[in-house]
Amino acid sequence: MSTKEAVTILSRALAVFFLAWLLSDLTYLPSYVFAFLHHENTLGGPSGTYLRNLDLISLLFLLLRIVVLFLAVQWFYRAGPAIQEYFLTSSEEGQPRL
């Protein structure tokens, strides 16, 4: 097995890991949306506003994490030249020259 093949296998394994993480986060999405909509429709004082904003921030960060994981899955599955260069570069080549 060549080193490029090993990097490809490692990269695809990371893609599978990120895909599992993405699918796990997708299962939380309905509860986050439900909590946000519940507090959005609640008429109340400052505590309702606080909870609505808290749920909105949580929902937005969950969506951001899902998008980033989706992009990571795509990038690692393709095992592009950037990944191979990162894993195959020797430690001496990676250090800056003075």
Q: What is the pLDDT of residues 49-94, one digit of tens each?
A: 888 889 999 999 999 999 999 999 999 998 877 888 887 776 555 5
Q: What is the pLDDT of residues 1-25, one digit of tens each?
A: 888 888 888 899 999 999 999 999 9
Instruction: Tell me if 28 is assigned to some domain.
Output: yes
Instruction: Tell me if 46 is assigned to some domain.
Output: yes
- Give me 40's structure tokens: 């959005």
Instruction: Tell me if 96 is assigned to some domain.
Output: no
Query: What confidence score (pLDDT) does residue 84 get?
Result: 80
Query: What confidence score (pLDDT) does residue 4 get?
Result: 82
Instruction: Tell me if 17 is assigned to some domain.
Output: yes
Residue 48's H or E segment, with its range, is helix 46-78
Instruction: Tell me if 44 is assigned to some domain.
Output: yes
Instruction: Tell me if 93 is assigned to some domain.
Output: no
Number of domain units in the chain: 1
* Residues 87, 10 contacting (CB under 8 angstroms): yes
Q: What is the pLDDT of residues 27-48, one digit of tens each?
A: 999 999 999 888 887 766 666 7
3-state secondary structure 5-31: HHHHHHHHHHHHHHHHHHHHHHHHHHH
Range of the domain at 24: 3-85
Query: What confidence score (pLDDT) does residue 52 get?
Result: 86
Dist CA 38 CA 48 (whole Å): 10
